[in-house]
Structure 1
Amino acid sequence: MYTRDHFSLPLPAMREFVQAKSFGVLATYHAGEVFTSPLPIDLRSTDEGELFVAGHVARANGMAAAFGTGAPATITVLGPDTYVPAEWFGTRSRIPTWLYCAVEISGSFELSDGAQTRADVELLIDRLQKRAVEGSTWTLDEIPANLSEGYLKNIVGFRLRDLRLKSCFRLNQRKGGMDTLAAALRADGDSAVRELAQLVLEPPTVNGGCPVS
């Protein structure tokens, strides 16, 4: 992914962004074919501090054949985006542009065994369940064993290791007119566009967090 220094986030802010979204598009090349899969993801770290991504796809997904090969793969996590007409800068003399937020995670596949896949699925569900319903938990033990066993048989888990993270938060940095642009973004009917208004005024920095939810 092409980016520039002033569009890039520090690692803590990238991690916060990815965990807030918990969803991306996984892409890899295997057996002469490009595969892509939109899927939930869990960016975590080992006890030693090594970052990795845990995820899974349907067993019928041709991408699953790449998991045991150590093949390289990339996950793209997207945030809010919008077209910006010249009028939103308060003048017709500005070139229209596009604002967007993206983090790219690159690494190598590692195939997960059945026990690890189940553990990773339950950790992901637990984190998202608590966020969606305050104080709530849910595990695969809450459904009949034949259903959970059937579900696990039909998915293949993976971990993405040796990670490299890049980001591009293109938020009109260094171009001025931020207050006028933010006001136009806040007036838009799309909540994702309104979310960009705060980012334009307070873009993530080396010492700051990432307020994208």
Structure 2
Amino acid sequence: MYTREHFSLPPEAVHEFVRARSFGVLATCHQGRVFTSPLPVDLRVDEDGELFVAGHVARANGMSKAFGSAPPATLTVLGPDSYVPAEWFGTRSRIPTWFYCAVEISGRLELSDPARTRADIEVLIDRLQRRTVEGSSWTLDEIPADLTTSYLRNIVGFRLTGLDLASCFRLNQNKDGMESLAEALTTSDVAARQELADLVRRPPTAPAG
């Protein structure tokens, strides 16, 4: 992914963004074919302090056949985005552009055995349940055992390891017109633009050089 220093997030901010979204598009190649899959993902640290991403796809998904060969893969996690017309800069003599927030995570895929697949799913569910439902204690154990077994039989787990992370939060950091932009985004009735307004006012990226 093309980016520049002043569009890039500090490492901890990248981690927080990915965990907050917990959803991305995984891409890899198998036997000359490119596969992509949108899926929930979990960025974690292993016992050695190394970052990895845990996830799973349906067994019927052709992508799952690639996992055993440890291919390179890239996960893209997207945040809010919007077309930005010239008028929002407070002038008509500007080229329209597009604001967006993206993190790209590259590494190699590792096939997970059934036990690790279940463990990774339980960790992800626990985190998302507690974040989404206050006081939630729901677990897979509340589903009849035969249904859980059937569900797990029909998925294939993986981990993405040896990670290289890149980020691009393109928010007009190195140009003028920030206040005019923020005001235009704030008054929009589109949720993504309202989210971008806060980011334009307080970019989480490196200062413009």
Q: Under a length normalisation based on structure 1, what TM-score does the superposition of the two structures give?
A: 0.95
Q: Which residue of 1 aligns with 2:184?
A: 184
Distance in 2 (alpha carbons) for counterparts of 1:51 and 1:158: 14
Encode CA deviations 1:104-154: one digit per residue, 9 max, x unaligned. 000001110001000100110110011110110221110101000000000
Q: Which residue of 2 aligns with 1:124?
A: 124
Q: Which residue of 2 aligns with 1:161?
A: 161
1:61 partner letter:
N
Contact 2:6 2:206 in 1 (8 A): no
Distance in 2 (alpha carbons) for counterparts of 1:49 and 1:138: 28
Distance in 2 (alpha carbons) for counterparts of 1:82 and 1:109: 32
Distance in 2 (alpha carbons) for counterparts of 1:86 and 1:205: 23
| Structure 1 residue ranges without an equivalent (≥5) | 208-213
Matched, 1:92 2:92: yes
Q: Which residue of 1 aligns with 2:57?
A: 57
Q: Which residue of 2 aligns with 1:144?
A: 144
Taking structure 1 as reference, are residues 176 and 206 closer, same or farther at Cα in structure 2, changes over 3 Å only?
Answer: closer
Q: Which residue of 2 aligns with 1:20?
A: 20
Q: CA RMSD in A?
A: 1.0
* Structure 1 stretches of at least 4 aligned residues deviating more than 4 Å after TM superposition: none
Encode CA deviations 1:164-201: one digit per residue, 9 max, x unaligned. 00000000011011111000000111111100001001
Q: Which residue of 1 aligns with 2:195?
A: 195
Contact 2:129 2:138 in 1 (8 A): yes
Encode CA deviations 1:73-127: one digit per residue, 9 max, x unaligned. 0000000000000111111011110000000000001110001000100110110
SS, match of residue 25 in structure 1: strand
Distance in 1 (alpha carbons) for counterparts of 2:174 and 2:58: 44
1:188 partner letter:
S
1:176 partner letter:
D
2:36 partner letter:
T
1:165 partner letter:
L
SS, match of residue 24 in structure 1: strand
Q: Which residue of 2 aligns with 1:110?
A: 110
Q: How many residues align?
A: 207
Distance in 2 (alpha carbons) for counterparts of 1:151 and 1:5: 43
Contact 2:9 2:169 in 1 (8 A): yes
Q: Under a length normalisation based on structure 2, what TM-score does the superposition of the two structures give?
A: 0.97
1:47 Cα deviation after fit: 2.2
Percent identical pairs in the alignment equals 71
SS, match of residue 203 in structure 1: coil
1:206 Cα deviation after fit: 5.7
| Structure 2 residue ranges without an equivalent (≥5) | none
Instruction: Answer with 197-206 or 170-179: which moved more.
Output: 197-206
Contact 2:14 2:167 in 1 (8 A): yes
